[in-house]
Structure 1
Amino acid sequence: MEGFEKYLQYLVGQSQAESAISDKSVHRFFKEYTDKEQASANASDPPVRSIHTYLQQPLERIQKYKALLKELIRNKAKNGQNCCLLEEAYAMVSALPQRSENTHHVSLIENYPATLEVLGEPIRQGPFQVWEGAPGIRTSSRGHHRHVFLFKNYCIICKPKRDSNTDTQAYVFKNMMKLNNVDVNETVEGDDRAFEIWHEREDSVRKYTLQARTVIIKNSWLRDFRELQQRYSMAAWSKSNTWFKDSRLLTDQEKYQTYSELRSGVLVLIIKNLNERDLGHYECELSNRLGNAKCAADLVLPSAVART
C-alpha cells in the first residue's frame, strides 16, 4: 500500500507539471524531441509518446486499479469470500484524487506561524460562511467567507485571497484550534446547514458558527469531527483504565491483555489460557478529565447460566 503514496505525490504536483510543459520553450523542446525520436524509429516500433501522454499515464493506472479491485471484490462476494482487505484497497485508491486536492489546498496557506508539515495530512477542507464571537446569539450580519481545514489534531480557519493579476488562489491563516479543546454543537436553530465550534482557550471561550453550502457537506464534516473526538476520548480512557477481578487489581500481563477499539468505543480484556479459576466478577474503572466511569461483568460457565 505504501507504493500508492507515490501516486499521491504525483497528483499533488500534477498541476505544476502541466503548467511547466505549457511554457512555450518547454513545449517546443519536447515537441522537437518527440519528432526526432519518431523520425529515427523503425516502422515496427510503437509510436513515440508525447509528454502529455506520459503525464496522463499515472491517472489511467489509478482508474485501472479501481476497475481491477472492483472486479475482484465482485467475484469474491459472489463466492461468499471475505472482501475486507480488497474493499480497504479500493477505498484507498479511490481517495487518492481527493487527498491530493486537500494537500494542494494546504500548500496555499500563508502566514502560518510554523511549518505546514507539522499539521500532517488534511482530512477535509472546504469553504464556509463563518461567524465568530463570544458565546451568545449569532449576529444578523452575513458573516465572513472562510476556508476551513480539518486535521487529525487541529482545525484551522483561513481567509481566502485571490490575486487578480496572476489569477492565483491563497489562504491567509486566521485561527487554529486544537481538537481536544473544542466542543461541537451539531445544530443551530433556524439553519440546518450550520453547526457550532466552541473553542476553550486559557482565558476565554470563543464560538464559531460554520454554515456549509449544503446539509450533506455539513453532515460529512460532523461525521469526521465525531470520529476524531471519539479517538481523543478513547485515547484518554485507554491510558487510565484499570481492571479488577473479585475486587483485586489485575497485574499479570502474561495472563491478561487489554486494548481499546477506537471506532466502536469498546475496551477489551483478553484472558489467556482460560480455566475455572478465571471465573468471577470483573470490573473496569476509567477516568479522564471529564470524569469517572465503571462497568462490570460476571464470567460464569454456560451450564451455570442455564440453571439461573
Structure 2
Amino acid sequence: MDLSDKSEAGAKTFEEHLQNIADRMIQYQNYFKEFVKYTTRAKLNTKTIQKALELMMSIPERAADLQYISKIVQYPGDLKKLGRLYRHDPFLVWQNNGTEPTECYAFLFKNTLLLTEKDSKDPSYYKYSASIRVKCLISIYYMY
C-alpha cells in the first residue's frame, strides 16, 4: 500500500492535521469565553479564567510572530535573545532628496528596533540592515 492509497482510505495529510490544531485552538478559545461569561453571571472570580483566555488568544499571534522572525537572515546575533516581538511593519526610507523611497521592514522588540530589507533573491525573507537599542520606546508605545 503506498501513500496515495492511505489518502484515499481516509488518512489525513499533514496540512489537514495542522488545520485541526488551529481549529482546536479556536474551540478552546470559545470554551474559555463561555467559562468567563457564565462565571461572571454566577458572580464568581473570573481572574484566572480570563488569564487562561488571554493565553489562548495570544498563541496564534505569537506563532505568526515567530514565523516572521524566522524569516530574518544575516542577523549577527541570536534573534531569540531579542525577546517578544511587539510590532512589525513596512515603512519607506528616503536616503537623498528627490530620490525614490526604498521599502524597508521594521521589527520592534522589547529593547531593540530591527531594520531589514526584503531579500532580492527571495522576497519572503528579510535581510538584516541595522538595529537600534531602545530603552524607553516601549513605555511611549503603550501611551498611545
TM range (shorter): 0.7 to 0.9
| Residue 160 of structure 1, aligned match among 105, 109, 118 | 118
For 2:60 and 2:93, the matched residues in 1 are separated by 27
Residue 226, structure 1, aligned to residue 140, structure 2:
yes
Q: Aligned AA for 1:33?
A: K
Listed as ranges, the gaps of 5+ residues in structure 1 are 1-28, 39-47, 134-138, 185-223, 231-308
Aligned to 1:64: 27
TM-score, length-scaled by structure 1: 0.40
Q: Report the AA paired with residue 134 of structure 2.
A: L
| Alpha-carbon distance change, 77 to 132 in structure 1, aligned in 2, over 3 angstroms | farther
Residue aligning to 1:108 = 71
Q: Which consecutive aligned stretches of 4+ in structure 1 deviate over 3 angstroms post-superposition? A: 130-133, 139-143
CA 1:34–1:76: 2 relative to 1, 3 Å: same
Q: Name the amino acid aligned to 1:115.
A: D
CA change 1:107–1:144 in 2 (3 A) is same
Of the three residues 81, 87, 91, the one matched with 1:124 is 87
The equivalent residue for 2:42 is 79
How far apart are the structure 2 equivalents of 1:168 and 1:30?
A: 33
* Counterpart residue identity of residue 58, structure 1: I
C-alpha distance in 2 between matches for 1:127 and 1:116? 19
Aligned to 2:53: 90
Which SS does the other structure have where 1:123 is aligned? strand
Give the C-alpha shift of residue 160 in structure 1.
1.6
Larger gyration radius, structure 1 or structure 2: 1
Deviation at 1:141, TM superposition (A): 5.4
Q: Aligned pair in 2 of structure 1 residues 88, 143: CA closer, same or farther (>3 Å)? A: farther
Question: Within 1, Cα distance between the matches of 2:38 and 2:75?
Answer: 49
- Give the drift of 1:170: 1.2
**Which structure is higher in strand share?**
1
Change in CA separation of 1:162 and 1:30 when aligned onto 2, cut-off 3 Å? farther
Distance in structure 2 (CA, Å) of the matches to 1:61 and 1:160 = 34
Contact 1:103 1:121 survives alignment (8 Å): no
> 1 CA distance for matches of 2:77 and 2:71?
14
Q: Deviations over 1:25-60 (max 9, x none)?
A: xxxx5322344xx4xxxxxxxxx4322432221111
Aligned residues: 142
Decide which moves more: 151-160 or 139-148. Answer: 139-148
8 Å CA contact 1:30–1:50 kept in 2: the answer is: no
| Higher relative contact order, structure no. (Cα contacts within 8 Å, ≥ 6 residues apart) | 2
Change over 3 Å in CA distance of 1:150–1:30 after alignment to 2? farther
Judged with a 3 Å threshold, the aligned counterparts in structure 2 of structure 1 residues 30 and 84 are, in CA distance, closer, same or farther, namely farther
CA gap of 1:132–1:100, structure 2 versus 1, over 3 A, is farther
Deviations 1:179-230 (A, max 9, x none): 22x6x6xxxxxxxxxxxxxxxxxxxxxxxxxxxxxxxxxxxxxxx55268x9
3-state DSSP of counterpart to 1:98: helix
1:105-157 deviation digits (Å, cap 9, x = unpaired): 11111221123232233222121224579xxxxx6655431111111221111
Say whether residues 1:146 and 2:60 are aligned partners.
no
Cross-structure match for 1:175: 130
**Alignment CA distance shift 1:130-1:92 (3 Å):** farther
Q: What is the DSSP-based 3-state SS (H/G/I as helix, E as strand, rest coil) of the residue aligned with 2:119?
A: strand
Among 25, 32, 52, the alignment partner of 2:5 is 32
Sort the Cα spacing of 1:140 and 1:96 in 2 relative to 1 into closer, same or farther, 3 A. farther
Structure with bigger helix share is 2
**TM-score relative to the length of structure 2:** 0.79
